[in-house]
């Protein structure tokens, strides 16, 4: 029965008014909400700003050959951090993993910002990814512990909205700083901002969500098997991505080794029945990976396609995706409304259809007569769908999780997200390279000559399969409610 449903009394006595109900910015939640939203804003700004400075950093450190590992190092170590944070938060509360995660995130930025060689830069990205994995899972546990169920869609919508300004301002600010002060300041300035969420959020979390769920229960030891599986999934994902980036026969060995580590680790860390799309929590976790993986794998190739095939500058190619930040936040806001809650499954099915249509429409700009702005509109539609789906998967996961399992299940959701990014990016990158995509990157120059290196098939072979994956996600979205719901 809903909290709003009340039985009618037999007497004629007046019914007292219900107690005031705070929103996420009401007096009871204001400090906590501002604090954790600031953390998400910081992560969003880093993600958009650092990506702009990365090519300059790799060139100055003579490390173009290791460029891809600056991205994969973050994802692989974040997988380990997610599993560790899930167990840590379930046993001792989210305060410690969040604090350690923010410290590691900032330390990684400092290591990369002061690196003198590329391997040290990659090491910093790995440290940063470990911290990011701790932080994101700890934040989900904070939401589970501190907010009533009716408020969780709203706080998830606020998380999505926190990406809007960084997605628009981040690339421009990073480009300006890189040009006038140097790429190192993009990395070194962000840790100074860590002080704000630390000061604001941590005291509020200590009051509302610290400690184990049941303080009187005996402490439970860490599950060493899950820790070993987490290490296996990180190493396996790294090996698999390395093999996909180096299309030689010798790469088969690390590829096979990566799969041998990855498959049992995934089966052990995700809910049973995930890859069979079993109804309920397993399908929620699967949908998160399908949605995030298909969309991010496709989006990663959009700027490159616009620069090399249509001659746009990198800045203009990046801004073509800026409108998506607004529509993503809009979709997340729609799913957060109480009047749309009864239709959540339909919204998620529709959201995945929008994502599939956007991805399938993107390579239309390979046709010279198609205006470039049509891609910006298509991607805004896809981002609207992602806002509907990503926020809803988070809400459903917390609703289907017992309080003492919120950390482990949140970790599974984030693992599905990150792992799908790694696997689908690796697959898309391998297909792209096999059809001549490597020649695109090697041959093009920014500007009018950029459009001369035409390899449309290399891009089509990335986008069309990802659209098919998104359509599979629309089917998975029909299986989110348990059979006894």
The mean predicted confidence, pLDDT, of the chain is: 79
Which of left, alpha, beta for 273 (phi over 0: left; psi -120 to 50: alpha)? Answer: left
Alpha carbon distances (Å) from 225 to 137, 185, 203, 259, 274: 19, 41, 33, 19, 19
- Indicate the pLDDT class of residue 385, thresholds 50, 70 and 90: very high
The pLDDT of residue 78? 86
The pLDDT of residue 22? 67
Q: Which residues contact 100 (CB under 8 A, 6 or more apart)?
A: 131, 134
* Of the candidate ranges 54-58, 201-205, 434-438, the one whose mean pLDDT is the lowest: 434-438
- Indicate the pLDDT class of residue 478, thresholds 50, 70 and 90: very high
Distance of alpha carbon 114 from alpha carbon 402, whole angstroms:
43
If one counts every other C-beta atom within 10 angstroms of the C-beta of residue 447, the result is: 11
Angle CA 302–67–436, to nearest 5: 55
Residue 134: both structure tokens together: 């701790």
The pLDDT of residue 13? 41
User: Does 16 score more than 50 pLDDT?
Assistant: no
Alpha carbon distances (Å) from 50 to 166, 183, 403: 11, 9, 35
Question: How is 112-159 classified by DSSP, letter by letter?
Answer: HHT-SSHHHHHHHHHHHHHHHHHHHHHHHHHHHHHS-GGGHHHHHHHH
The share of the chain scoring above pLDDT 70, in percent, equals: 83
End-to-end CA distance of the chain: 12
Length of the chain: 485
The pLDDT of residue 471? 96
The pLDDT of residue 356? 96
Distance of alpha carbon 292 from alpha carbon 78, whole angstroms:
16
The pLDDT of residue 9? 34
The pLDDT of residue 222? 67
* Of the candidate ranges 200-204, 283-287, 290-294, the one whose mean pLDDT is the lowest: 200-204
The pLDDT of residue 242? 73
- Indicate the pLDDT class of residue 452, thresholds 50, 70 and 90: very low
Distance of alpha carbon 289 from alpha carbon 78, whole angstroms:
15
The pLDDT of residue 451? 45
Work out the average pLDDT over 457-467.
Answer: 89
Burial class (CB in 10 A: 0-12, 13-18, 19+), 245: middle
Burial class (CB in 10 A: 0-12, 13-18, 19+), 373: exposed
Distance of alpha carbon 143 from alpha carbon 380, whole angstroms:
28
Distance of alpha carbon 134 from alpha carbon 79, whole angstroms:
9
* Of the candidate ranges 62-76, 137-151, 276-290, 297-311, the one whose mean pLDDT is the lowest: 62-76
Torsion angles phi and psi, residue 483, rounded to 5: -65, -25
- Indicate the pLDDT class of residue 23, thresholds 50, 70 and 90: confident
- Indicate the pLDDT class of residue 313, thresholds 50, 70 and 90: low
pLDDT tens column, 326-371: 888 888 888 888 888 888 889 999 999 999 999 999 999 888 888 9
H/E stretch holding 103 reads helix 95-113
- Indicate the pLDDT class of residue 400, thresholds 50, 70 and 90: confident
- Indicate the pLDDT class of residue 442, thresholds 50, 70 and 90: very low
Work out the average pLDDT over 223-239.
Answer: 81
Instruction: Assess contact for 99 and 205: CB atoms under 8 A.
Output: no
Q: Tell me which residue of 358, 414, 380, 419 sits closest to 159, measured CA to CA.
A: 414
User: Does 158 score more than 80 pLDDT?
Assistant: yes
* The most confident of 16-25, 208-217, 246-255, 378-387, by mean pLDDT: 378-387
Distance of alpha carbon 302 from alpha carbon 396, whole angstroms:
31
- Indicate the pLDDT class of residue 94, thresholds 50, 70 and 90: confident
The pLDDT of residue 213? 59
User: Does 316 score more than 80 pLDDT?
Assistant: no
The pLDDT of residue 445? 44
Question: How is 274-335 classified by DSSP, letter by letter?
Answer: GGGT-TTHHHHHHHHHHHHHHHHHHHTTHHHHHHHHH---HHHHHHTTTHHHHHHHHHHHHH
The share of the chain scoring above pLDDT 90, in percent, equals: 18
Torsion angles phi and psi, residue 402, rounded to 5: -65, 150
Residue bearing the bigger pLDDT, 77 or 127? 127
The pLDDT of residue 291? 94
Distance of alpha carbon 100 from alpha carbon 95, whole angstroms:
9
Q: Tell me which residue of 427, 181, 400 sits closest to 287, measured CA to CA.
A: 400
User: Does 8 score more than 60 pLDDT?
Assistant: no
User: Does 189 score more than 80 pLDDT?
Assistant: yes
């Amino acid at each position: 029965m809903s909290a709003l449903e009340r039985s009618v009394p037999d007497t004629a006595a007046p019914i007292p008014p219900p107690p005031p109900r705070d929103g996420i910015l009401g007096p009871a939640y204001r400090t906590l909400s501002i604090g954790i939203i600031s953390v998400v804003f910081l992560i969003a700004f880093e993600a958009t700003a650092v990506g702009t400075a990365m090519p300059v950093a790799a060139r100055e450190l003579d490390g173009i050959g290791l460029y891809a590992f600056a991205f994969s190092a973050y994802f692989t170590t974040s997988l380990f951090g997610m599993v560790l944070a899930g167990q840590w938060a379930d046993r001792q509360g989210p305060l410690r993993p969040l604090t350690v995660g923010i410290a590691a995130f900032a330390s990684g930025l400092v290591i990369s910002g002061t690196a003198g060689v590329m391997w040290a830069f990659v090491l910093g990205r790995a440290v940063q990814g470990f911290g990011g994995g701790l932080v994101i899972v700890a934040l989900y546990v904070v939401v589970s512990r501190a907010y009533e169920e009716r408020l969780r869609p709203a706080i998830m919508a606020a998380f999505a909205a926190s990406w809007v300004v960084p997605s628009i301002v981040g690339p421009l600010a990073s480009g300006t700083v890189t040009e006038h002060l140097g790429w190192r300041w993009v990395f070194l300035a962000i840790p100074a901002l860590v002080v704000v969420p630390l000061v604001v959020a941590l005291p509020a979390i200590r009051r509302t969500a610290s400690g184990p769920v049941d303080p009187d229960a005996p402490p439970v030891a860490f599950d060493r098997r899950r820790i070993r599986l987490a290490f296996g999934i990180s190493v396996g994902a790294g090996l698999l991505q390395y093999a996909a980036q180096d299309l030689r026969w010798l790469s088969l060995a690390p590829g096979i080794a990566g799969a041998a580590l990855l498959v049992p680790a995934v089966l052990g860390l995700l809910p049973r029945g995930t890859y069979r799309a079993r109804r309920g929590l397993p399908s929620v976790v699967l949908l998160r990976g399908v949605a995030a993986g298909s969309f991010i794998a496709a989006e990663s190739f959009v700027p490159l396609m616009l620069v090399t095939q249509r001659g746009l500058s990198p800045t203009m190619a990046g801004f073509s995706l800026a409108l998506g930040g607004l529509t993503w936040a809009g979709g997340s806001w729609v799913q957060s409304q109480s009047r749309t809650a009864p239709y959540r499954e339909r919204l998620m099915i529709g959201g995945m259809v929008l994502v599939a249509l956007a991805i399938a429409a993107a390579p239309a700009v390979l046709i010279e007569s198609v205006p470039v702005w049509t891609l910006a509109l298509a991607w805004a539609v896809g981002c609207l769908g992602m806002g509907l789906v990503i926020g809803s998967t988070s809400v459903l996961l917390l609703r289907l999780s017992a309080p003492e399992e919120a950390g482990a299940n949140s970790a599974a959701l984030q693992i599905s997200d990150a792992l799908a990014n790694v696997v689908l990016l690796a697959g898309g990158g391998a297909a792209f390279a096999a059809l001549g995509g490597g020649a695109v990157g090697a041959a093009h120059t920014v500007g009018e000559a950029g459009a001369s290196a035409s390899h449309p098939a290399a891009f089509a072979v990335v986008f069309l399969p990802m659209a098919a994956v998104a359509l599979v996600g629309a089917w998975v979205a029909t299986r989110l409610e348990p059979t006894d719901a």
